[in-house]
Amino acid sequence: MKISVENTSQTVESVSLAQVMVLSIDEDQAGQRLDNFLIARLKGVPRSKIYNVIRKGEVRVNKGRIKPEYKLVAGDSVRVPPIRTAEAGTEAKASNQMMALLAKSVLFEDDGLLVINKPPGLAVHGGSGITLGLIETLRQMRPDAKHLELVHRLDRDTSGCIMIAKKRSYLRHLQAALREKSAGAGGITKVYQALVNGDWSKRTHQVNAPLLKTEVAGGERVVRVHPEGKPSLTEFKVLRRFDGFSLIEARPITGRTHQIRVHAQYAGHSLVGDEKYGNDDVNEVMRGQGIKRLFLHASALSFYLPESEELTHVDAPLPPDLSIPLSKLSAI
């Protein structure tokens, strides 16, 4: 990565965040999201500030405005405005309890990849109002691992399998694989379990409906089925039926924000515990039964590692906060 400073003759070694920087992306940085790239490099800058300057258009890629989720390409030129750094030593520190929990939550590891059974309630990365997420905690746990990056994301309340690349080559390989439809086609298969309201129809094996993401007052993201949305497909299968509920398996073929939740709602069966798209009255009743968060769990991943012809499969059982109340429901 090359760094230049606008309107100054200073060398790279003396560059300060008080000046405009222009970062040139090389092959090693290619494939990362813009927000992750900046968060990893602008040490001491609050994450909320980084997202703010991106939204305002103060960060430019190839002289144009850009979104935080933009995937960097080799040769891109990233302009970073002057940013005030936080005081030294103010970075949030992960608790020993959280680090111990994550150490016990490793489902798979090799030289280039970690698969973690993410606990519910833990954001995958810091952001607005969140000082420390999964990726920041893992970086503190493994200071010698210089290239830890999220391969994909899970909502904060969703538990289960999540991939973290330890090498840039793995990050590029796996993110390219995510664009494939399934592991059988050389891609990645993601499997979720969810508890939904009502008796899921035997005839509903998939929901193919475009999804449009919008922001409402306060910056909250809302996704809905809309003809102008992006093509979105989820496959569904009933695992067990209960009195008033169905435990389903969901396989998102595309990877849209809140896809499983909105497609299930569109099919007439919102997820239990879903405060955004669910049934408030049912959620209140189920909290009394012990289900106190979104009943959505990333239960399995299937993928091919770089230069391997053998399919790797990773499972994560339902955590106790979901499995115990589920066992108390009346099966039919």
Q: What is the pLDDT of residue 288?
A: 95
Does the pLDDT of residue 1 top 60, yes or no?
A: no
Determine what percent of the chain is predicted with pLDDT higher than 90.
Answer: 66
Which residues are marked as active site? Answer: 155
pTM for this prediction = 0.79
Q: What is the pLDDT of residue 301?
A: 97
Average pLDDT of the residues in 104-128: 92
Q: What is the pLDDT of residue 88?
A: 41
Encode pLDDT of 287-308 as tens digits.
999 999 999 999 999 999 998 8
Spell 267-299 as b/e; 16+ CB within 10 A means b.
bebbbbbbebbbbeebbeebeeeebbbbbbbbb
Task: Judge contact between 42 and 34, C-beta under 8 A.
Answer: no
Does the pLDDT of residue 283 top 50, yes or no?
A: yes
Q: What is the pLDDT of residue 282?
A: 96
d(CA 315, CA 159): 12
Q: What is the pLDDT of residue 40?
A: 77
For residue 224, the cross-strand partners are 212
Q: Among 64, 68, 61, 60, which Cα is nearest to 35's?
A: 68
Give the pairing type, strands 106-109 and 149-150.
Answer: unpaired
Q: What is the pLDDT of residue 11?
A: 31
Determine what percent of the chain is predicted with pLDDT higher than 70.
Answer: 88
Encode pLDDT of 82-98 as tens digits.
876 554 445 678 899 99
Domains plus CATH for the chain? 2-80 (3.10.290.10), 96-171 (3.30.2350.10), 181-327 (3.30.2350.10)
Q: How would residue 3 be classed by pLDDT, with cut points 50, 70 and 90?
A: very low
Spell 175-193 as b/e; 16+ CB within 10 A means b.
bebeebeebeeebbbbbbb
Does the pLDDT of residue 8 top 60, yes or no?
A: no
Lowest mean pLDDT among 186-200, 207-221, 241-255: 207-221
Mean pLDDT of the chain: 88
Encode pLDDT of 27-79 as tens digits.
877 888 898 888 877 866 777 788 889 999 999 999 999 999 898 998 999 99
Q: Among 302, 299, 305, 301, which Cα is nearest to 322's?
A: 299
- Would you state the structure tokens that stand for residue 191, as one six-digit string? 């499997």
Task: Judge contact between 295 and 260, C-beta under 8 A.
Answer: no
Average pLDDT of the residues in 247-267: 96
Q: What is the pLDDT of residue 314?
A: 98
Q: How would residue 9 be classed by pLDDT, with cut points 50, 70 and 90?
A: very low
Encode pLDDT of 121-175 as tens digits.
999 987 656 678 999 999 999 999 888 999 999 999 999 999 999 998 999 899 8
- Would you state the structure tokens that stand for residue 36, as one six-digit string? 């992750």
